[in-house]
Amino acid sequence: MKIFDKILLHEVFADQPPVLLDIGSSTHLCERWNQLAKYSICIAFDPDARQMDYISAMAGNYRKLHVIPAIVHPELDGECDFYLASSPECSSMLELRSQEVKKWHFQYFFQLEKKVKLPCVTLSGILSDLKLNYVDCFKADTQGTDLRILNSLGENRIARILSLELEPGPSAAYVNDDTLGSVISDMEQRHNFRMIACRPLGSQYFPLELEEKYLSKLQRRLIPTVLRESPLWFELSYLNNFNKGGLGKREYLLGWVLAMIETEYGWASELAEMGKAKFNDQIFEEMQHATLKAIPWIRPTLMKIIRKISLMSRFKDA
């Protein structure tokens, strides 16, 4: 969208470009940031380098890309224990529940390869080293420690975050993890974030010993196809609702871009309207126009009508 370029080239971003944190980026960087990338500073963290080859090719997409091959710890700078799982995406600084996880079909991803000592850093320390005092987009997938790492930023920095993604769970796999309940409760107490998505992900409950005892190799492979999936971890997305003060024209502009990327058109329209009233800048009028123009009225409506007709036809034939 051309207006994104116009906004992100606005003078308010000259000395304060968007800052994006991706904690736990072992296989990819957040794809929704692609439209921000060339204007943004991205800081990517992952201590498990087994699937990090992709990241060097991404450097040219960003205004600046910092790759930190270390664990993000809520308190420690130095070294800490890290549990390498059979799947790099499942490695964690939390101990694996090696026995409990065997009751779930996805246990194959959580086999402990080895326990190692790896470098660890704090977010405050890294931001200080990079001479950055703010974060606009925060995405964490740390296998159990997202909330405590977010809280390590301190309330002043958290209040300025515009887009926030956390992935609590699965408690079946990790000891002392940040649970879904604790994350939601903590976020609700802040009052300045609105949840826009809660996507459940999970696995099938089937103890490994019974798989091996009663099922053929083919049947075991078909478990994800034929058995119901239980929700074990969740992808949570939040947007800052601008309830707290201290957010200026820069945040209103970037908040609108993020709302549009998330297809939160009602919020984008409201932000444009608030910006128009608050700041003497014609760009907010353009943003409002772009918001209303972007709403996909026709295709979803047609798809809904087609589904209804198809459903009615099936009942009629029955």
- Give the tens place of pLDDT for each residue, 74-130: 999 999 999 999 988 899 999 999 889 999 999 989 989 999 999 999 999 999 999
| Tokens, residue 37 | 């990338």
Q: pTM value?
A: 0.90
Mean pLDDT, to the nearest integer, of 229-245? 95
Residue 52 pLDDT more than 70? no
Helices (H) then strands (E): counts for the chain: 12, 10
Residue 243 pLDDT more than 80? yes
Please give the radius of gyration of the chain, using alpha carbons only, rounded to the nearest integer: 22
Return the minimum-mean-pLDDT range out of 7-21, 27-41, 66-80, 151-165. 27-41
| Tokens, residue 105 | 């079909």
- Give the 3-state secondary structure of residue 306: helix
**More confidently predicted of 7 and 303:** 7
Question: In the structure, what pLDDT confidence band is assigned to residue 306 with cuts at 50, 70 and 90?
Answer: confident
User: What pLDDT is recorded for position 26?
Assistant: 60
Q: Check if the beta carbon of residue 260 is closer than 8 Å to that of residue 294.
A: yes
Residue 314 pLDDT more than 70? no
Max CA distance (Å), the chain? 72
Return the minimum-mean-pLDDT range out of 65-69, 132-136, 180-184, 220-224. 65-69
Q: Check if the beta carbon of residue 281 is closer than 8 Å to that of residue 249.
A: yes
pLDDT in tens, 164-215: 999 998 888 999 999 999 999 999 999 999 999 999 999 999 999 999 999 9
Q: What is the DSSP letter of 195?
A: E
User: What pLDDT is recorded for position 20?
Assistant: 97
Show the domains of the chain with their CATH numbers: 2-247 (3.40.50)
**More confidently predicted of 18 and 308:** 18
User: What pLDDT is recorded for position 298?
Assistant: 79
Mean pLDDT, to the nearest integer, of 250-276? 97
User: What pLDDT is recorded for position 316?
Assistant: 63
User: What pLDDT is recorded for position 302?
Assistant: 77
Mean pLDDT, to the nearest integer, of 255-270? 98
Return the minimum-mean-pLDDT range out of 18-27, 64-73, 76-85, 182-191. 18-27
- Of 308, 304, 266, 261, whose CA–CA distance to 288 is shortest? 266
Question: What does the alpha-carbon distance between residue 243 and residue 93 come to, in Å, rounded to a whole number?
Answer: 35
Strands 19-23 and 64-68: unpaired
pLDDT in tens, 34-49: 999 999 999 998 776 6
Question: In the structure, what pLDDT confidence band is assigned to residue 57 with cuts at 50, 70 and 90?
Answer: low
Residue with tokens 């026709």: 298
Mean confidence (pLDDT) of the chain: 91
Question: In the structure, what pLDDT confidence band is assigned to residue 53 with cuts at 50, 70 and 90?
Answer: low
User: What pLDDT is recorded for position 203?
Assistant: 96
The burial class, CB within 10 Å (0-12 / 13-18 / 19+), for 199 is exposed
Percent of the chain's residues with pLDDT above 90: 76
Question: What does the alpha-carbon distance between residue 184 and residue 195 come to, in Å, rounded to a whole number?
Answer: 9
Counting other chains too, the contacts that 10-14 makes at CB distance below 8 Å and 24 or more residues apart are: 10/250, 10/253, 10/283, 12/248, 12/249, 12/250, 12/253, 13/39, 13/250, 13/253, 13/254
- Whether the link from the prior residue into 170 is cis, omega within 30° of 0, is yes
User: What pLDDT is recorded for position 307?
Assistant: 77
